[in-house]
Amino acid sequence: MSLEDVPNAPYVNEDGKSFLENAAKKAVKIARFTKKLTLGEDSGLCIDALMGAPGIYSSRFSGQGKSDEKNNQKVLRLLKKVPLKKRSARYVCAVALADKNGLIGVVGGVCGGLIALKMKGAHGFGYDPLFLLPQYRKTFGQLGPLIKHKLSHRYKALKKIRPIVRKYFQSQNP
């Protein structure tokens, strides 16, 4: 199931100070509402030259009327005079697991790279056309889903949550 399958799901205000807090808040609130085991996720892009921005504000970085295009253009504008070698960045993902009784666990995943000088590629979403993986000399937007999903911050976080999910089910069915 996804949240789209939950009619009248409560709104979760992402007002945490970290990806971990937001993921936990989402998981707990929806698990308590549905009475089902729930994964909550929060992720975004952190750019060192921007002191970690956009960070937890990644999806709404360009403000009202936000869009992936506007977010990417704002990043390029802010980094206009920053050389490629000083554009280090990382995608960060937090995944939380909760049930009707509360939070069970929270894990994180990180994928490091650089912010490209211009957008390249049509795959993915968000900042993928700007997120350059030096080892491939391509952006996530150019690499496509097969490679991205094996390297991404989400893949790494979901891989870490698997044993916690397994342990949960083992404890429910001893």
**131: nearest Cα among 81, 71, 171:** 71
Q: What are the residue boundaries of the structural domains of the chain, listed by start?
A: 3-172
Least Cα distance to 85 among 116, 112, 108 occurs for 116
Catalytic-labelled residue, pool 42, 48, 68, 99: 42
pLDDT of 57 reads 96
> What does CATH list as the number for 3-172?
3.90.950.10
Distance, CA of 109 to CA of 95 (rounded, Å): 8
Q: How many residues appear in the chain? A: 174
In this prediction, the residues of the chain whose per-residue pLDDT falls under 50 are none
pLDDT of residue 109: 98
Report which secondary-structure segment, H or E, holds 55: none
Question: Does the annotation count 128 as an active-site position?
Answer: no
- Looking at residue 23, its pLDDT comes to 98
CA distance 109 to 92: 6
Residue type at 101 in one-letter notation: N
Nearest to 116 by CA among 128, 124, 99, 104: 128
- Rg over alpha carbons for the chain, rounded to the nearest Å, is 17
